[in-house]
Structure 1
């Protein structure tokens, strides 16, 4: 929730910086142009357009933050798709303000399409990478109960030998999270290192939409994970047997 709000405010501030305060140097490609090359760009129009797109994306993220605060679930992947499309649209359409690519009539100049491919492709690659990371983070938790160890697969996961696991317990409620120190918090999916008010530093592998949690300590570290309820209870029962002396 907080992350959405922060990014949303940053995007709106970026839009204002371009559109209202005319801080054109924030557009990296424009800043690197020669004086002669800048003369071909309608920078005021380009900045206004990029600012409007930034307002849209920022307002969307603020709306998502408000909905999350009201416990209304919003798909993180859907948000990435919408913002990704808006960014690609911005990358392509903003080039219409550059006379290097388009004539005054709006017609694409001969050979301009080839030179447009690099900035558009670069932006598309970044969006795809972000989407892949988000999908990976949001995958259902992989838990494997081996003969000698519990394995939690995926980002921040690890292997935990049964003979070194301590303080195993089932928790109905998760203590309040005070901050994220080094991890991924995408919607209801929390993976990585967090601070909890009652427990201090904890590694979480949870989906807050699923109720019920398994807690254990391993080599001085505190671990909490969960799964869909019925599967979680089965995992807990099997772990209790594995940890019997």
Structure 2
């Protein structure tokens, strides 16, 4: 949470520095232009847009931090999607103030399309790769029981040999204090987290399903459940009977 707050404050500072203080050298691309090309850029309009973008990113970071701090049951995915769209739209709008791309009448210069290719590539990556990762992390946990181990498929997957298990319990999840290296979507927690009891654990949790299985073994404690309470209880019975 505090990382998000600090990131928001940094965004507010950068936005103010570019928009109000005239620190235009902070604008990527503009700071490396030759003076002749800089003279064709309406830098005040670009700086205003970049400042607004930084302020907006800061506000979204604070909203996410508040949701995590108060443990509100509000999905984060729409905020991340809004953030991506906001950034992409702002960057594209800023291009119309670049006289190296558009002439005085607003038409593309002969080499304007070539100059827009890097931005187009970045936009496609932002709007496909990141939502794709979010979709991947939101997929249900897949668990396979082999003759010698419990295998958790997908991101942060683990193979847990039965001989390494010291305890398997059906319990309720104690709650998360903070995420260390993992994914938190509206209904799923996947990866490395710290619980409210200051314990570092590995989670494969659907928060909409009540009971969870806790596995203590030679590695980090694991909490997992399946898509229904019935399926989770059935998996628990299978594991303890191995």
TM-score bracket for the superposition, by shorter chain length: 0.7 to 0.9
Alpha-carbon spacing, 1:225–1:131, altered in 2? closer, same or farther (3 Å): same
Q: Which runs of 5+ in 2 are unaligned?
A: none
The alpha-carbon deviation at position 217 of structure 1 amounts to: 1.6
Q: Which runs of 5+ in 1 are unaligned?
A: none
Q: Which moved more, 1:5-14 or 1:113-122?
A: 5-14
The alpha-carbon deviation at position 168 of structure 1 amounts to: 0.6
- 1:134-178 Cα distance to aligned partner (Å, 9 max, x none): 22222221122223221111111111112221211011232x433
The alpha-carbon deviation at position 44 of structure 1 amounts to: 1.4
Q: Which moved more, 1:195-204 or 1:163-172?
A: 195-204
The alpha-carbon deviation at position 58 of structure 1 amounts to: 3.0
* Counterpart-to-counterpart distance in 2, 1:170 and 1:81: 35
Q: Which moved more, 1:81-90 or 1:158-167?
A: 81-90
Alpha-carbon spacing, 1:153–1:17, altered in 2? closer, same or farther (3 Å): farther
Q: Is 2:43 the counterpart of 1:72?
A: no
SS in 2 for 1:28: coil
SS in 1 for 2:92: helix
Q: Is 2:66 the counterpart of 1:28?
A: no
The alpha-carbon deviation at position 115 of structure 1 amounts to: 2.1
Is residue 214–residue 226 contact of structure 1 (8 Å, CA) maintained in 2? yes
The alpha-carbon deviation at position 5 of structure 1 amounts to: 4.9
- 1:184-208 Cα distance to aligned partner (Å, 9 max, x none): 3344432222233436221122233
Task: Identify the residue that residue 38 of structure 2 maps to in structure 1.
Answer: 38
Alpha-carbon spacing, 1:67–1:192, altered in 2? closer, same or farther (3 Å): closer
Alpha-carbon spacing, 1:14–1:130, altered in 2? closer, same or farther (3 Å): farther
* Counterpart-to-counterpart distance in 1, 2:185 and 2:17: 28
Alpha-carbon spacing, 1:151–1:2, altered in 2? closer, same or farther (3 Å): farther
The alpha-carbon deviation at position 30 of structure 1 amounts to: 0.9
Across the aligned residues of Structure 1 and Structure 2, the Cα RMSD in angstroms comes to 2.5
Task: Identify the residue that residue 221 of structure 1 maps to in structure 2.
Answer: 220
SS in 2 for 1:22: coil
The alpha-carbon deviation at position 113 of structure 1 amounts to: 1.8
TM-score, normalised with respect to structure 2: 0.86
* Counterpart-to-counterpart distance in 2, 1:160 and 1:81: 35
The alpha-carbon deviation at position 219 of structure 1 amounts to: 1.5
SS in 2 for 1:159: strand
* Counterpart-to-counterpart distance in 1, 2:60 and 2:195: 29
The alpha-carbon deviation at position 183 of structure 1 amounts to: 2.6
Task: Identify the residue that residue 180 of structure 1 maps to in structure 2.
Answer: 179
